[in-house]
Amino acid sequence: MGRKPVVIQNNTKYRQGDVVTMKVVRVGEMGAFLDGGTGDTNDDILLHKLQQTEEVKVGDSVKVYLYLDPSKRLTASMKLPKMREGQLGYVRVLSVTRDGGFVDIGAERGVFLPYSQMRGHVSEGQLVWVKLYRDKSGRPAVTMRVEDDMVRASKPAEGIKVGDSVTGTIYNILPEGFFIFTTQRFIAFLHRSEVPGGRLDFGQQVTCRVTYIREDGRINVSMRLQKENAMIADAQDIYDFLQKRNGSMPYCDSTPLEIIKQKFGISKAAFKRALGHLMKEGKVRQEDGWTYLTEQENK
């Protein structure tokens, strides 16, 4: 059975958050009044002049979005939301208060994001994936718990191959890594070990390289460069680090993995490849557990 309408004022059959077509029954100084459908003019709903995208007259049928004004009266706007109840949207956070947040769905007012429906640390201006629903009181609200809906909205990866680049946004985060909804509507998994620095946020846009196409149509991706390109980039980082330290550092290819990971954010194998590349080019030398820029590079 469908949910019963929540009565906002008198006996009106409409609810805040509804998108409906209503008839203009009269026009006044403030704007037009729409038929509340009860036969009582006290239930007519104001469509203020400021909320009209074009002039309306008595007898017109207009499509409007219903919301509560500051006095808690049901009010209409011809500015329609970009989302409907049950739909997903990638939206901007307008504000975060002690009661929760508000997001922009393109309507006259921001829509409530309860703390219980947030994921991660949400901040003003952040772009996040949400689903529009109604809470127990009938009020429009959004949730960031969209994992199942994203799977239903996705499609199997086609027309791509390993090594291709994909761009998408993060909609779920687990200890193991990040789930991404790509611009092609693919589901991609980005393992935390494949993220330089290991940290990303909900809603963040990323561009990754496809590393594996799974039988179920999903893909695995990486933000790390391929080994050859990564080695050159890592070597440059180490070279720059040495220059900042006046040409020397207390790290070499025998330095423990934990220290390498903490200082450079790369694996021990990647560190050794980068050092080997620098030594082959005659830019660095190692001695007694230290690495030095060669005299030629340290001039």
The Cα 240–Cα 244 span in angstroms is 6
Instruction: Write phi, then psi, for 69 (nearest 5 degrees).
Output: -80, 175
Q: Show which of 222, 244, 272 is a domain's final residue.
A: 222
pLDDT per residue as tens, the chain (299 positions): 443 433 344 445 788 888 999 999 999 889 999 998 888 888 899 999 999 999 999 999 999 999 988 888 889 999 999 999 999 999 999 999 988 999 999 988 899 999 999 999 999 999 999 999 999 888 899 999 999 999 999 999 999 999 899 999 999 999 999 999 999 999 999 999 889 878 899 999 999 999 999 999 999 999 976 666 678 888 899 999 999 999 999 999 899 999 998 888 888 888 998 999 899 999 999 999 999 998 766 65
Compute how many other C-beta atoms are within 10 angstroms of the C-beta atom of residue 40.
11
Tokens representing 4?
Answer: 């019963």
In a domain, 26, yes or no: yes
In a domain, 105, yes or no: yes
How many domains are contained in the chain?
Answer: 4
Q: Which domain holds residue 71?
A: 19-77
Residue 9 lies in a domain: no
Are 70 and 93 found together in one domain? no
Question: Does residue 83 form part of some domain?
Answer: no
